[in-house]
Amino acid sequence: MIRRAASEEIVDLAGLTRELHALRDEAVAAARSAASTSELEELEVTLLGKKGRLTVVLRGIGALPAEDRPRVGAIANEVQAAMRAAFADGAATLRARELGERLGAEAVDVTTPARPVRRGTLHPVVETANRIAAIFGQFGFQVYEGPEVEDDTTNFRMLNIPPDHPARDLWDTLYVDVPDHLLRTHTSPGQIRVMQSARPPIRALLPGRCFRYEAVDASHASEFFQVEGLMIDQGTTLGDLKGLLDQFAQAMYGAGRRTRFRPGYYPFTEPSVAFDVECLVCGGSGCPACSRTGWMTILGAGMVHPVVLQYGGIDPERYQGFAFGMGVERIANLRYGVGDLRLYMENDLRFLEQFR
């Protein structure tokens, strides 16, 4: 019996097969030629959607004789798979093309200047003091700090500088309106404060601001920073000091620098030494920077005077040790090639921002 489809078309096996193949060919061609992903998606719905043309064609299967149905079913499956594959291919091609177009459109001139990121800098004097502390820290030296408004006794008397001692001329002092107080002229009073608060073995480092009655010029400042070092134990010798300072010179100014000790004078050390490093400018051959001596003095030091130990409450018969003191700006000058101390406190950002 022959049934009529809703479309009134006559359904037979060959016709249905032809129709399916035509639909497949149309889908393959359309998927290839679609101009955009959206057009492709629309086509896919039209051909393969629930109410799409394939569905319509397949309705005709029911009108076929039962023996023909499996054959047509197989052909229909093939056609449907081919159509889906065609659309998938088309979609992939289109996506690649569209992404390519987007990336092309998004291209910028990558050689333009960046968007600046703000950058701050740390002050070279503070950084140098910290560097000194870090170097000595590797040798077990511990940072202490003391007051800047100091009493006369700790700043001078206990450091073996009695009142009216001619050595006081070495420290032009700023006095304050607090009885028996002054602005510390050096970090050395910290030696006394450390000895009074810690027992040997002592390895102490005392960085801080100091003050002098000193007219300001390229090489003098009324406010400046020092770092004091103190090491006290039973067998601490001048040789230990030399060894340690040699290490410091290497760490600060590079390996292979020649160094020397020569006699110095401080009332609070005995013996006292000056520590010289081979001139960083001329390498020792002599130049104006080193007054043609080939050497630059970077710090003063010595064995802690027994009087100072006694004021610190330490028995000089049992213990001995060394102290050293250095001007941070001087170390920084040599480190960074700065020739004028005033630059450090002028705080011209054009100077400071060089210290990255």
Partner 1 sequence: MRVPLSWLRDYVDVDLTPEQLAERLTLLGMEVKGLERWGAEWHNVVVGELLAVEPHPRADRLSLTRVTVGEGEPLEIVCGATNIAAGQRVPVALPGAVLPGGRRIERTEKMGVVSNGMLCSGDELRLTADADGILILSDTAQVGTALVELHGDVVLDVDVKPNRGDALSLIGLAREVAAATGARVRWPDTDPVERGRSVADRLAVRVEAPDLCSRFVARWVSGVRVAPSPDRVQMRLLAAGVRPVSNVVDASNYVMVELGKPIHTFDAAAIHPGVDGRPTIVVRRAASGEPLETLDHVHRTLDPDTLVIADPVAALGIAGIIGGASSEVGEATTDVVVESAVFDPVAIRRTGQRYGLRSEASLRFEKGQEVRLARIGADRTARLIAEWAGGTVAPGRVDTNPSEPDRSTVTFRPARVNRLLGTELSTDEQRALLSRLGLESESAEPDDRVTVALEPQPLVVRTGADEAVTALVPTWRGDIAIEADVAEEIARVRGYDVVPSILPHTPMPGWRPLPLEVRDAIRDTLAGAGLSEVVTHALVSPRLLDGFALRQPVPSVGGEDQPGGQGIEVTNPLSRDHSVLRQGLLGSLAEVIGTNRRHGREDVAIFEVGKGYAREGDETCEWWRLGIALTGPAESAAWNQAERHWDVDDAKGIVELLCQRLGYATPRYAADPDEPILHPGRSLRATATDPTGEVQLASVVGELHPDVIERWELRTDRVVVAELALAGLAGGQMQDVRSSPPPRHPPVERDLAVVVAEDREAASVADVIGESGGDLLRSASLFDIYRGAPLAGDEKSLAHRLVFAADRTLTEDEVDEAVARIARALRERLGARLRT
The candidate with the shortest Cα–Cα distance to 60, out of 10, 22, 26, 23, is 10
Type of residue numbered 325: G
Select the span of 18-26, 68-76, 98-106, 342-350 touching partner 1 (CB under 8 A). Answer: 342-350
Q: Which of 137, 282, 335, 336 binds partner 1 (CB under 8 A)?
A: 137
State which H helix or E strand residue 230 sits in: strand 223-233
Q: Which is nearer to Zn ion, 120 or 288 (CB)?
A: 288
Type of residue numbered 191: Q
Q: Which is nearer to Zn ion, 137 or 284 (CB)?
A: 284
Q: Which is nearer to partner 1, 61 or 133 (CB)?
A: 133
User: Could you say whether residue 215 binds partner 1 (CB under 8 A)?
Assistant: yes
Select the span of 27-35, 38-46, 60-68, 339-347 touching partner 1 (CB under 8 A). Answer: 339-347
Instruction: Report the SS3 class of residue 219.
Output: coil
Type of residue numbered 43: L
Specify whether the CB–CB gap between 63 and 4 falls below 8 A: yes
Q: Which of the choices partner 1, Zn ion, none does residue 342 contact, using the CB cut-off of 5 to 8 A by kind? A: none
- β-sheet bridge partners, residue 143: 205
User: Could you say whether residue 16 binds Zn ion (CB under 5 A)?
Assistant: no
Q: Which is nearer to Zn ion, 181 or 335 (CB)?
A: 335
Residues 260-279 that bind Zn ion (CB under 5 A): 279
Q: What is the CA 28 to chain-centroid distance, rounded? A: 60
Type of residue numbered 252: M
User: Could you say whether residue 35 binds partner 1 (CB under 8 A)?
Assistant: no
Q: How far apart are CA 280 and CA 295, in angstroms?
A: 8
Q: How far apart are CA 302 and CA 310, in angstroms?
A: 16
Closest distance to partner 1 from the beta carbon of 193 (Å): 13
Residues 283-322 that bind Zn ion (CB under 5 A): 287, 289-290
Q: State the Rg of the chain over Cα.
A: 45
Q: Which of 1, 106, 177, 256 binds partner 1 (CB under 8 A)?
A: 177
Closest distance to partner 1 from the beta carbon of 228 (Å): 15
Type of residue numbered 231: M
Where are the alpha helices (H) located in 219-265, listed in sequence order?
238-253
Residues 13-32 that bind partner 1 (CB under 8 A): none
Specify whether the CB–CB gap between 224 and 116 falls below 8 A: no
Q: Which of the choices Zn ion, partner 1, none does residue 281 contact, using the CB cut-off of 5 to 8 A by kind? A: Zn ion
User: Could you say whether residue 317 binds partner 1 (CB under 8 A)?
Assistant: yes
Q: Which of 91, 282, 343, 352 binds Zn ion (CB under 5 A)?
A: 282
